[in-house]
Structure 1
Amino acid sequence: MPRNNVLSRLLDAGENVVLDGALATELEAHGCDLEDPLWSAKVLLEQPELVRRVHLDYFRAGARVAITASYQATPLGFARRGISEAEALERVALSVSLADEARREHLAANPEAGPLLVAGSVGPYGAYLADGSEYRGDYTLSRNDFKAFHRPRIAALVDAGADVLACETLPSLPEAAALLELVAEFDVESWLTFTLRDGAHISDGTALERVAELCNDEPRVAAIGVNCVPLELVTPALDALGRATRKPLITYPNSGETYNATTKTWGPSAASGDATDAGRAPASLVEGAPAWHERGARMVGGCCRTTPADIAALAHFWRS
């Protein structure tokens, strides 16, 4: 077992864990302009206090996990802005400190809310490319190149005290395999979540059952699932994963709108109408949560376009 296994202990104790929701949406609501290849990591440079405020809003809404603003915070990404690797990694560490400050403030006023966790976000190589590749998985690197890309950020997150790594929005099996080697190298508890081509395959076409099999033998993987996906794909994806793993499942899908990675705009849902037992896609996180929980989802939150209000509704569902 990893040196810090607080997440596994919560899940082993039968707890259902509510994650936070979208970071970028809330930063934009506070006036941030995220039209930048660094996306929310830009705010770590310009207005870090806003990141802490958003984390605090989600804790107040009932989230028990804050995912750091390090999804697109990589030395290569910051280098485009003329920022040294040392300063880039300081900003990665800052993302952990900001989430921890929000946690401490919330627990000071609400000690019964704990334990609360800080998950260090490890976005895919495709996020650095900033061209929608994390939804296609059409890039190719060697195993060593993937590890060289991810290792410095993971080291900074672990050294800064992240409780768990959120290896998220992963579109490809080779990248996931490289990340699993780093999870073992750093002996850190983690979850892996993937983007989807459809309800049975991740974005590069790999079957979800194969993805689950890859993670099954790694004890440091506390949960496996999907994120940044349409609501209508969650149920079939959890069904597919549940056939191949006994690990707890995790999901934090988008709000229900559809993202166009080419134009970087949101539009109406492309729901296929086959995602729930009722024969239609859920209209919200909380509407989908009962079916997801029945399929083994023990950790549920929101990704793009979700808000503290969505997380508050989820937290109320888990308590009821």
Structure 2
Amino acid sequence: MDAVREEGPTLVLDGGLATRLEELGCDLSDELWSARLLHEDPDMIRRAHRDFFAAGADVAITASYQASVDGFTARGLTRAQARTLIASSVGLAAQARDESGGGIVAAGIGPYGAALADGSEYTGDYGPGIGADALADWHRQRWHLLAESGADLLACETIPSYTEAQALVRLLEETPGVRAWFSFSCADAEHISDGTPLARCAELLADREQVVAVGANCTAPSRIGGLIARVRGAPAVVYPNSGETWDAAAGTWRGSSDPEAFGAAARRWQQAGARLIGGCCRTTPEHIRRIRAHLD
């Protein structure tokens, strides 16, 4: 990942891991989401990673986004078993990388709200008393597990609030040998989900040697150009949703997504300055294949 800081080639990230798992027939209707398969069907996670590498991805993000020790122990596992499962997410991605001939493994660090599974991961509204200290305490165990797991870097993703970014920066400072990117969920083309300007978040992270990129994910593709323009002091990372929208009342996705148009948009994001480009919710290996084709 040093090449990103040194103006090397644009790297292609993978797409929606959960989307691919559902395409393969997995039922993810569970608070643990794709992390449940770390326990129940790890081979399927490895297969999904391998499919994205085959489509042209340079980087795999692990299935640890929604994983937590408390989430696994609530299912009857011991804390030791839970820690082993979280670390195994890196091993599965690394196996898929090796089987595919090379690549980078980014250990996914999802927000506190992802473990709550109550929608707060998209607002950052965690309630009174949940400040940077409490958030750092909650993240610390998983952070250190993944920092010591052999991953190439950490992917701090779908961060909804400035306060949570501050908490994660504290943990980054506790692990001086670790590198990470910081990617925020965004409400529009200028602000992250809690209303903080993305430019302010970029200032918090600017010129930190450990931070390889700053940007946005889990937001609409139409916002990405404006968000890239707000990133200063670090390369930009972007991996938006497919362009479909979630209808919470009906419990379904609306609209459609054209992988070819998504790939063409990725070329525009590259020209705007993005150095790591991929997809989030509802993006498939075909979306990644089209990104690869347009960037090449």
Assess same fold via TM > 0.5: yes
Name which of structure 1's ranges 127-136 and 258-267 shifts more when overlaid on structure 2: 258-267
SS of structure 2 residue aligned to 1:196? coil
Q: Tell me the distance in 2 between the aligned counterparts of 1:217 and 1:142.
A: 25
Task: Name the Cα RMSD after superposition.
Answer: 1.9
Label 1:220 to 1:261 Cα distance change in 2 as closer, same or farther (>3 A). Answer: farther
SS of structure 2 residue aligned to 1:199? coil
Name which of structure 1's ranges 137-146 and 222-231 shifts more when overlaid on structure 2: 137-146
Task: Tell me the residue number matched to 1:275.
Answer: none
Match of 1:230 among 220, 236, 251: 220
Task: Check if 1:44 corresponds to 2:13.
Answer: no
C-alpha displacement at 1:138, in angstroms? 1.0
Match of 1:299 among 272, 276, 292: 276
C-alpha displacement at 1:254, in angstroms? 0.6
Task: Check if 1:96 corresponds to 2:90.
Answer: yes
Q: Tell me the distance in 1 between the aligned counterparts of 2:248 and 2:11.
A: 30
Task: Tell me the residue number matched to 2:70.
Answer: 76
Task: Tell me the residue number matched to 2:104.
Answer: 117
C-alpha displacement at 1:206, in angstroms? 0.3
User: Identity, % of aligned pairs?
Assistant: 47
C-alpha displacement at 1:11, in angstroms? 4.3
Task: Tell me the residue number matched to 1:178.
Answer: 167
TM-score (norm 2): 0.94
C-alpha displacement at 1:203, in angstroms? 0.4
Q: Tell me the distance in 1 between the aligned counterparts of 2:163 and 2:250.
A: 27
C-alpha displacement at 1:283, in angstroms? 7.6
Which digits, 9 at most, give the CA deviation of each residue in 1:21-42, with x for residues without a partner?
Answer: 0101111112111000000001
Q: Tell me the distance in 2 between the aligned counterparts of 1:142 and 1:297.
A: 31
Q: Tell me the distance in 1 between the aligned counterparts of 2:250 and 2:236.
A: 31
Which digits, 9 at most, give the CA deviation of each residue in 1:196-222, with x for residues without a partner?
Answer: 111111000101111111111422110
Q: Tell me the distance in 1 between the aligned counterparts of 2:4 and 2:38.
A: 30
Label 1:214 to 1:264 Cα distance change in 2 as closer, same or farther (>3 A). Answer: farther
The unaligned stretches of length 5 or more in structure 1 are 1-6, 108-113, 272-280
TM-score (norm 1): 0.87
Label 1:150 to 1:199 Cα distance change in 2 as closer, same or farther (>3 A). Answer: same
The unaligned stretches of length 5 or more in structure 2 are none
Task: Tell me the residue number matched to 2:60.
Answer: 66
Task: Check if 1:25 corresponds to 2:13.
Answer: no
Q: Which amino acid aligns with 1:202?
A: I
Label 1:240 to 1:204 Cα distance change in 2 as closer, same or farther (>3 A). Answer: same
Match of 1:150 among 111, 133, 139: 139
Q: Tell me the distance in 2 between the aligned counterparts of 1:309 and 1:163.
A: 25
Match of 1:209 among 181, 190, 199: 199
Q: Tell me the distance in 2 between the aligned counterparts of 1:256 and 1:263.
A: 18
C-alpha displacement at 1:260, in angstroms? 3.8
SS of structure 2 residue aligned to 1:55? helix
Which digits, 9 at most, give the CA deviation of each residue in 1:261-303, with x for residues without a partner?
Answer: 566531127x9xxxxxxxxx99842121122112210110010
Task: Check if 1:268 corresponds to 2:255.
Answer: yes
Label 1:316 to 1:132 Cα distance change in 2 as closer, same or farther (>3 A). Answer: same
